[in-house]
Amino acid sequence: MTELDVRARFDAALPDEYEWDEREATLLAIAERQSAHIEQLEALLEAQGLSVKGSTGQNRLNPLVAELRLQYAALSRTVEGIRLPGESPEEKKSPRHQRAAARRWGAA
């Protein structure tokens, strides 16, 4: 199992008596493709290095760094949509949004 083998990690956490619904299976398939793209980009970055020559010969940050950052963010959003049995939607809310709601309602 590779470091980013998302499907295998979620399948291992799924209790035996449950199956993924269609939405979750679709999200898992998307996450698998995203993780494969990330692995390809990481291999390219490793081969090319963090800096590349710009159009005028100057050293500049490899554009793959920015693309990897975007891919990780997209993968994170995709994985957040996958819920294991017993997880409530409230558990998936970000702490930042929970604090903002608490302030709005005077609870914090």
In a domain, 56, yes or no: yes
Range of the domain at 58: 6-104
How far apart (Å, rounded) are the C-alpha atoms in residues 35 and 40?
9
Task: Please report the pLDDT score of residue 15 as a whole number.
Answer: 85
Judge whether 1 lies within some domain: no
Secondary structure element (H or E) that encloses residue 65, with its range: helix 63-80
In a domain, residue 76? The reply is yes
What is the pLDDT, as a whole number, of residue 1?
Answer: 44
CA distance 104 to 86: 28
In this prediction, residue 85 carries a pLDDT of: 78
Residue 61: its H or E element:
strand 59-61
Residue 48 lies in a domain: yes
CB 72 within 8 A of CB 42: no
- List, for residues 25-68, the tens digit of each pLDDT value: 999 999 999 999 999 999 999 999 999 999 999 999 999 999 99
- Provide the whole-model pTM: 0.71
In a domain, 42, yes or no: yes
Dist CA 103 CA 108 (whole Å) = 5
pLDDT digits (tens, 9 = 90+) for 66-100: 999 999 999 999 999 988 877 765 555 667 777 78
Instruction: Tell me which DSSP letter residue 4 carries.
Output: T
Burial class (CB in 10 A: 0-12, 13-18, 19+), 31: buried
Domain count, the chain: 1
